[in-house]
Structure 1
């Protein structure tokens, strides 16, 4: 990046499991006409037969970052991510009571402009990866706490798909164009 180039705007759709993150990310990508970074964990989970341990935390986080860098290299108007390492941090702390230092350091160094926190007001669906339908409220609180502890900008979205899209677009437009 040249010294005068503006830093890339990075928008992350995040939240507890089964909150419509992938659906909203896809809708936002279509709305803005931009590529997006898919959730790396899904692919990794399948490749490892659904058996994950803390040892998988770094490969998952690094795979997510590599996917982000690949999309960034295409120089989109902004980077749109279906989750990022924040999810790794939350789940690592929840499942393993630990988060690798590399993830913490990388999260501190890599700036994300806006997080869109998807609410748990939609039905939980079993897809073989999701495993805590009764823990969504608790997990959502952990996501919100993580965002607050990191002092990052975020907006919560709830309601129908269209209501979520409208709210997310307003927040992203405010970042991109300086309007509310």
Structure 2
């Protein structure tokens, strides 16, 4: 059985880097955050009406990637993060997005701390917004009784913490 791992956190918290490293470490695949692609393709930040399509696309890509996953599927974000952004930027979570968040459960949730150097790219929230987003994320995790593990520090420390939660990768022949 493939275990689905959600990697969440504020912008520039190292989610994509951790997802890629974990996939390489465990010899499996990861699903990049669709929101980045959306912004690149459309040349703009999403509006409220885009939120459900973004979350649905993310989930569809996760489902498609399950066929190639070996033991773990690492997901760079989840519909929960779309809900957090909806709550912050658009004043709430619409009912369809709420239902999607409730349906999409992950075996493990890793929260990336915002303790690495922040680099603005013109597409993500400013640094002071990251703390607000992180606070909303913790509120949603607690409200939904989603257990999580914080990962912090440099890439090696984050990988080690994740390995403590997930277990060591199997060696050839096991």
User: How does the TM-score come out when normalised to structure 2?
Assistant: 0.91
Contact 2:45/2:123 (<8 A) preserved: no
In the alignment, the residues of structure 2 paired with residue 29 and residue 96 of structure 1 have an alpha-carbon distance, to the nearest angstrom, of 33
In the alignment, the residues of structure 2 paired with residue 49 and residue 71 of structure 1 have an alpha-carbon distance, to the nearest angstrom, of 26
Query: Which of residues 114, 119, 122 is equivalent to 2:113?
Result: 119
Match of 1:146 in 2: 140
Match of 1:39 in 2: 33
Instruction: Give ranges in structure 1 of 5+ residues lacking alignment.
Output: 1-5, 175-180
Match of 1:58 in 2: 52
What secondary structure sits across from 1:99 in the alignment?
coil
Match of 2:7 in 1: 13
In the alignment, the residues of structure 1 paired with residue 57 and residue 163 of structure 2 have an alpha-carbon distance, to the nearest angstrom, of 27
Instruction: Give ranges in structure 2 of 5+ residues lacking alignment.
Output: 169-174
Match of 1:130 in 2: 124
| Residue 114 (structure 1) shift | 1.1
What secondary structure sits across from 1:126 in the alignment?
coil
Matched, 1:93 2:87: yes
In the alignment, the residues of structure 1 paired with residue 144 and residue 103 of structure 2 have an alpha-carbon distance, to the nearest angstrom, of 12
| Residue 110 (structure 1) shift | 2.4
Matched, 1:30 2:45: no
Match of 2:172 in 1: none
Superposed CA offset, 1:9-28 (max 9, x none) = 21011101110000111110
In the alignment, the residues of structure 1 paired with residue 71 and residue 15 of structure 2 have an alpha-carbon distance, to the nearest angstrom, of 20
Runs of 4+ in structure 1 deviating by more than 4 angstroms, as ranges, are none
Match of 2:164 in 1: 170
| Residue 80 (structure 1) shift | 1.1
What pairs up with 1:102-117 in 2 under 5 angstroms?
Answer: 102-117=96-111
Contact 1:113/1:153 (<8 A) preserved: no
| Residue 50 (structure 1) shift | 1.4
Q: In terms of mean alpha carbon deviation, does 91-100 or 127-136 score higher? A: 127-136
Match of 2:171 in 1: none
